């Protein structure tokens, strides 16, 4: 058994050895991140995802499909096998057909959050703290989804100059073995500590606006480092999606989707990293 497989097996055993109501309650209080298991255990980890033959085999045989639908701007609807509906970067303009159970907001700009979400939403997760500069901390289990965040600094808006510490949150959704990340309004390349906090990402949603967040060159370096299997561009502005795509060579496949959604599981992830441009982002 490869060392990274052994680490993952130990982490999984630690998380699921105890069973019954008490164990389930304990997991609700202190969820275990399987996506961090390898990156935190191996020193100087330089990856956040598996590829090819290194990809771990899942044990589930059914109910493992997660559907991701691009709703607009940087809002995706995530539908889990247990029926949990999540909306990312929820601003109230782009909404799922049904009221979501969870919405995340990164707070970077007015188009990425709302202070008046629908009353029926059970969990409204702010990626910022009410205390300026303090890091928001989210570590929540809702149904079959474990949701957590990693904060990053952002530039101040409207030409004010300077940076706002911990002003953006990268949200990570761990669902039936899949590690799904939404980079939010990422303004700076990630640090070694942030890569470790994120852990592995099988699927990543990445802004491709060409400069409102980061330029294509900087953003492509982040994506190459993450080594995710499936890359979903978002937050497009004008033609920069082409500039972003031009940063990648033969190690990445590129495909344009016929519609606005994709269904994926740990078993069906592409073996070669795929940049998948959903309808509405093209």
Query: Looking at residue 192, what is its pLDDT?
Result: 93
Query: Looking at residue 130, what is its pLDDT?
Result: 81
Tens-digit pLDDT profile for residues 101-157:
999 988 766 776 677 788 899 999 988 888 888 888 999 999 999 999 998 877 666
Nearest to 101 by CA among 32, 60, 147: 147
Q: Which domains does the chain have, with CATH numbers?
A: 129-277 (3.60.15.10)
Confidence of residue 10 (pLDDT cuts 50, 70, 90): very low
Whether the CB-CB separation of 226 and 247 falls below 8 Å is answered with no
Angle (CA) 275-98-180 rounded to 5° is 30
Query: Looking at residue 68, what is its pLDDT?
Result: 98
Cα distances from 258 to residues 67, 278, 282, in angstroms, run 15, 7, 10
The 3-state secondary structure of the chain reads: CCHHHHHHHHHHHHHHCCCCHHHHHHHHHCCCCCCCHHHHHCCCCCCCCCCHHHCCCCCCCCCCCEEEEEEECCEEEEECCCCCEEECCCCCCCCCCCCCCEEEECCCCHHHCCCCCCCCCCEEEECCCCCCCCCCCCEEEECCEEEEEEEEEEECCCCCCCEEEEEEEEEEEEECCEEEEECCCCCCCCCHHHHHHHCCCCEEEEECCCCCCCCHHHHHHHHHHHCCCEEEEECCCCCHHHHHHCCCCCCCEEEECCCCEEEECCCCCCCCCEEEECCCCC
Give this prediction's pTM: 0.78
Query: Looking at residue 236, what is its pLDDT?
Result: 66
Query: Looking at residue 181, what is its pLDDT?
Result: 95
Tens-digit pLDDT profile for residues 218-265:
778 888 999 999 999 986 666 567 878 888 889 899 999 999 999 999
Average pLDDT, the chain: 77
Confidence of residue 162 (pLDDT cuts 50, 70, 90): low
Query: Looking at residue 114, what is its pLDDT?
Result: 76
Of 1-10, 136-145, 269-278, which range is least confident? Answer: 1-10
Tens-digit pLDDT profile for residues 64-108:
999 999 998 789 999 999 999 999 988 877 788 899 999 998 876
């Amino acid at each position: 058994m490869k060392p990274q497989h052994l680490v993952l097996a130990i982490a999984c055993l630690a998380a699921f050895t105890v069973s019954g109501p008490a164990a389930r309650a304990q997991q609700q209080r202190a969820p275990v991140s399987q996506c961090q298991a390898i990156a935190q255990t191996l020193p100087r980890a330089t990856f956040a995802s598996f590829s090819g033959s290194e990809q771990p085999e899942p044990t589930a045989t059914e109910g493992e499909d997660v559907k991701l639908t691009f709703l607009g701007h940087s809002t995706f609807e995530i539908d889990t096998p247990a029926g949990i509906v999540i909306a990312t970067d929820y601003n109230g303009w782009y909404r799922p057909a049904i009221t979501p159970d969870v919405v995340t907001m990164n707070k970077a700009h007015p188009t990425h959050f709302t202070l008046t979400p629908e009353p029926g939403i059970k969990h409204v997760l702010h990626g910022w703290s009410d205390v300026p500069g303090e890091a928001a901390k989210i570590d929540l289990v809702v149904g079959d989804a474990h949701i957590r965040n990693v904060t990053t600094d952002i530039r101040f808006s409207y030409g004010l100059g300077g940076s706002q510490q911990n002003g953006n949150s990268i949200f990570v959704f761990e669902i039936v073995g899949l590690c799904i990340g939404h980079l939010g309004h990422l303004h700076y390349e990630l640090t070694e500590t942030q890569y470790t906090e994120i852990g592995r990402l099988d699927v990543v949603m990445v802004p491709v606006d060409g400069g409102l967040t980061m330029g294509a060159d900087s953003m492509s370096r982040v994506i190459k480092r993450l080594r995710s299997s499936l890359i979903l561009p978002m937050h497009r502005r004008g033609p920069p999606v082409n500039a972003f795509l031009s940063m990648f060579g033969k190690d990445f496949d590129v495909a344009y989707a016929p519609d606005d959604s994709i269904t994926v599981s740990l078993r069906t992830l592409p073996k070669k990293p795929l940049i998948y441009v959903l309808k509405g982002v093209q």
